[in-house]
Structure 1
Amino acid sequence: MSNSVKKVPTFVESLATLVGHNSISSVLPQYDQSNLAVIQSLADWFETLGFATEILPVADNPGKANLLATRGTGDGGLVLSGHTDTVPCNPERWISDPFTLTERDGRLYGLGTCDMKGFFSLVLEAVQAFHSSDFKQPLMILATADEESSMCGARDLSRQGRLKGRYAVVGEPTSLRPIRMHKGIIMESVRLTGRAGHSSNPALGINSIDAMHDVIGELKNLRQELAAQYSNAHFTVSVPTLNFGCIHGGDNPNRICGSCELAFDLRALPGMSNDDLRHEIRQRLSPIAARNNVIFELETHFPGIEPFETLASSPLVQAAERLTGHRSEAVAFATEAPFLQALGFETIVMGPGSIDQAHQVDEFLALSQIAPGVELIRSLIQQFCLEEKR
């Protein structure tokens, strides 16, 4: 029997391993990959450091799992959370192999380095400063599946309701600045079905493009009304946005268009409800379809992400502001934070790397983010897991 002791990798070694695991998630099956290799690597490393680990298969999603690694006990504590998947990439456009960690010019290049496998390497480095006997409240490391596509991992955890605690940090790339609010998002399609016919006589069909013209007009009215009704100065774009993303209809100029489909997204501010918005859209568009004698369908592309906000008075927000020297901010992109908040956690978004590098060719994490990132995580663990409960 071997007497060898398991070794915890260095920051660069762990990140190289994580980047080397292809864990792309995509709504397109030809790109979608399992995240189990990432989950297993993380589980092995945190077990070596004395964490109790659970690999939690995601319901109805073969090859996908979440990881929960816990050190310490109690009813409070801190969750450090991140997703294990990446977006698809175009390897032919990269200077170096996206699945091989490459250092040059003070940067670590590779798919997922900043979004967001680098966060797990920071956490792994940070926790080595503590002993299990130090913990007065639990530290939980959460790694989720498919944030970049369906968010099925976070949704599954939210449905289970088994994760308990007080505070949570989602380590998305924010250049180590605390984020306490972000917009939500829904992505919908309006599909109108009329009747095709010869264009020489409009009475021979029902033109769905004509009907879609009225639908677009009504959605533009809704956009203006929402902007007038809701505003939040913390956001760079202070109002809700509704974007017409793509439209398809018809097949030939001399044929009455029998069907037309419009896809759009709507990004709501904190205090607004995705379900209420969907209901409002349906209520506004159904009469338009009836007047135009077309069949109306509203399709939801994915369940959506709710707007998110944690109060500025939260001890976690105040601690992050004090430790970073930055006031908490708001961002337009969506994260898994609302799912943790729904489980009762006071939550912020804060991690290494810039969102400007996320989803980009030649994604990188600057070496200058590593030392302050490790120190920041250690300080949060010290305050929320090691100090006496107040």
Structure 2
Amino acid sequence: MTLPSFIQIYNELIAIPTISSVTNEKLDYSNKELIEKLANWFEGLGFNISIVPVPNTRNKFNLLATYSNDSNITQGGLLLSGHSDTVPFDDGLWTKNPFKITEQDNKWYGLGTADMKGFFAFILDSLRDIDLKTLKKPLHILATADEEITMAGAAYFAQNAKLQPDCTIIGEPTSLIPIRAHKGFTANVIRVIGKSGHSSDPEKGINAIEIMHLVITQLLQLKQKLKEEYNNDGFAVPYPSMNLGMIKGGDSANRICGCCELLLDIRVLPEMDANSLYEIVCNALKPVMERYPNRVIVENEVDPISGYECKKESPALIEVEKLLGKAAETVNYSTEAPFLNQISPTIVLGPGSIEQAHQPDEFVSMEYLKPTKAAIQGLIKRFCI
């Protein structure tokens, strides 16, 4: 099969909307068209294709493409992984067409150029110059669903995977710097149920905003406690961070607020149990809950995502550092690495800057084109040939 040009592959991937959204079903697109397009290209190169529906998603799919010259060798080799979805975009802030590559100032603009549909274009382009018949170990390509909201695709794949590569690379935008560890993520919705009424007679109502004030006071104390009790010097922000991300409540100045909601984000260190944060938050709010029984409700907005760490002494990490001539670093954002790291040593490494992720006029600088292709080819040769 003759592949389209690199820029055409990139363009075709960007042109397919694969937005993920938890709260707005109309903004939650299926990734089926993109998955089938990738499957067609990889199948044309001789890869075996598996497309699997991901449970608890809105018509989303994982793709696993595998090339192996010996069916008896099922372990080892390399897994190159990326997510197929993007975040929504703010039409009023974009000056370029999100669904078309726009080349300007030595940059390619488009939704998913950096984060991270473009990584699949790099993989396909890199395979042009490799004789796949020379592979001694399997090469796997994984495209997952719903990374931007629930990471359901990666979680489902990790639960059911039969393969065990020597190394997994997740092509998130890291400026081609290998990342060996990152923090986990928890998001809670805290809902205060008050009792509405006319503002002229406060005693006949219960103001949810006032109760939320007490909730926030307790949370800020917890924020300081987490900072004091947990520390990992491997991170630029060496403690668990807490962010009060959104608050809404009330509808009029002359009405007692009957409901108030707060969205809370905590970034946990790899050594912490992300699932325990729910109980920790509830315990911190216990004084308010006891004072106002059945009026303070804590829920997980999404399932907690653990932190991850690939050990410094991992042979796979050492080989990747040697190949790139760069020491691995740590970051504060989250990826699918906690799931794929259960299968094999996982390193996050890809073109573009994380500063472009989730931003209007997202782009990948063209300075990454040649180095990324060289890096992918080097990884394949090291782990598969």
User: Under TM normalisation by the shorter chain, which class is it?
Assistant: over 0.9
Q: Deviations over 1:167-187 (max 9, x none)?
A: 211000011100011111111
Could you tell me which amino acid in structure 2 is paired with residue 333 of structure 1?
Y
Which residue of structure 2 aligns with residue 3 of structure 1?
A: none
1:106 aligns with 2:106: yes
* Superposition map of 1:320-331 within 5 A: 320-331=320-331
- Are 1:37 and 2:36 counterparts? no
Q: Which moved more, 1:64-73 or 1:249-258?
A: 249-258
1:265 paired to 2:265? yes
Displacement, 1:265?
Answer: 0.5
Q: Are 1:157 and 2:153 counterparts?
A: no
Q: In the TM superposition, what are the counterparts of 1:307-322 in structure 2 within 5 Å?
A: 307-322=307-322
Q: Is the 8 A contact 2:90 2:360 kept in 1?
A: yes
Alpha-carbon shift at residue 46 of structure 1 (Å): 0.9
Q: SS at the partner of 1:108?
A: strand
Shift of the alpha carbon at 1:201? 4.8
CA drift at 1:93: 4.1
CA distance in 1, matches of 2:97, 2:53: 30
Q: Deviations over 1:212-246 (max 9, x none)?
A: 22221111111111111112233222211111112
With structure 2 as the length reference, what TM-score do the two structures score? 0.93
Q: Which runs of 5+ in 2 are unaligned?
A: none
Distance 1:346 1:226 in 2: 29
Query: Residues 251 and 62 from structure 1, CA distance in 2 versus in 1: closer, same or farther, beyond 3 angstroms?
Result: closer
Whether the 8 Å CA contact 1:185–1:307 is kept in 2: the answer is yes
23, 26, 48: which one aligns with 2:18: 23
Decide whether aligned partners of structure 1 residues 62 and 227 sit closer, same or farther in structure 2, where only a CA change above 3 A counts.
closer
Alpha-carbon offset, residue 194 of structure 1: 3.0
Paired amino acid for 2:166: R
* Letter aligned with residue 153 of structure 2: G
Please give the residue correspondences for 1:1-390 in structure 2 after superposition, counting only pairs within 5 Å: 6-27=1-22, 28-72=24-68, 73-91=73-91, 93-342=93-342, 344-386=343-385
In 1, the alpha carbon distance for the partners of 2:214 and 2:90 equals 39
Once the two structures are superposed, what CA deviation does each residue of 1:16-36 show, in whole Å capped at 9, x if it has no partner? Answer: 111111212222122221211
Residues 259 and 360 (structure 1), Cα distance of their counterparts in 2 relative to 1, 3 Å cut: closer
Q: Go from structure 1 to structure 2 and tell me whether the alpha carbon gap of 1:216 and 1:41 turns closer, same or farther (over 3 Å shift).
A: same
What do you get for the CA RMSD once the two structures are aligned? 1.9
Mean CA deviation greater in 252-261 or 41-50: 252-261
**Counterpart-to-counterpart distance in 1, 2:293 and 2:279:** 21
Alpha carbons of 1:155 and 1:49: their partners in 2 closer, same or farther (altered >3 Å)?
A: same
TM-score of the pair, normalised by structure 1: 0.92
Whole-angstrom CA distance in 1 between matches of 2:326 and 2:4 = 31
Residue identity over aligned pairs, in percent, reads 44
Shift of residue 127, structure 1, vs aligned partner: 2.4
| CA–CA distance in structure 1, aligned partners of residues 106 and 194 of structure 2 | 58
Task: Compute the displacement of 1:124 (Å).
Answer: 0.9
Deviation at 1:375, TM superposition (A): 0.9
Q: Secondary structure at the match of 2:286?
A: helix
Q: Return the offset for 1:105.
A: 2.2
Contact 2:175 2:352 in 1 (8 A): yes
Q: State how far apart, in whole Å, the 1-side matches of 2:134 and 2:240 are.
A: 45
- SS of residue paired to 1:356: helix
What is the distance in 2 between the residues matched to 1:62 and 1:264?
A: 25
Aligned AA (2:125): E
- With 7-16 and 77-86 compared, the bigger mean Cα shift is at 7-16
Q: Find the residue that maps to 1:113 and give its secondary structure.
A: coil
Checking the alignment, whether the CA contact within 8 Å between 1:194 and 1:293 is kept in structure 2 is no
How far apart are the structure 2 equivalents of 1:189 and 1:144?
Answer: 26
- TM-aligned CA distance change 1:325 to 1:256, over 3 Å: same
**1:94-128 CA deviation, whole Å, 9 max, x = no partner?**
44322122222222222211111221111112223
Answer whether contact 1:74 1:136 (CA < 8 A) is retained.
no
* CA deviation profile, 1:131-172 (whole Å, cap 9, x unmatched): 343222211000011211222211221332444333211000
The amino acid that maps onto 2:354 is I
After superposition, give the CA deviation of every residue in 1:267-306 in whole Å (9 maximum; x if it has no partner). Answer: 1111011111111111232342122345221111111311
* C-alpha displacement of 1:202: 4.5
The letter for the 2-side match of 1:9 is: P
Determine if contact 1:177/1:351 at 8 Å carries over to the other structure.
yes
* 2-structure distance, mates of 1:95, 1:202: 49
Gap change, CA 1:88 and 1:258, over 3 Å in 2: closer
Out of 206-215 and 41-50, give the one that drifted further: 206-215
Gaps of 5+ in 1: 1-5
Q: Which moved more, 1:168-177 or 1:353-362?
A: 353-362
1:99/1:253 CA distance change after superposition, 3 Å: closer
Write the distance in 2 (CA, Å) between the matches of 1:202 and 1:88: 41
CA distance in 1, matches of 2:263, 2:111: 29
- Tell me the matched-pair count: 380
Cα pair 2:51 2:62 within 8 Å, conserved: yes
Distance 2:360 2:201 in 1: 51
Q: 3-state SS of the aligned residue for 1:382?
A: helix
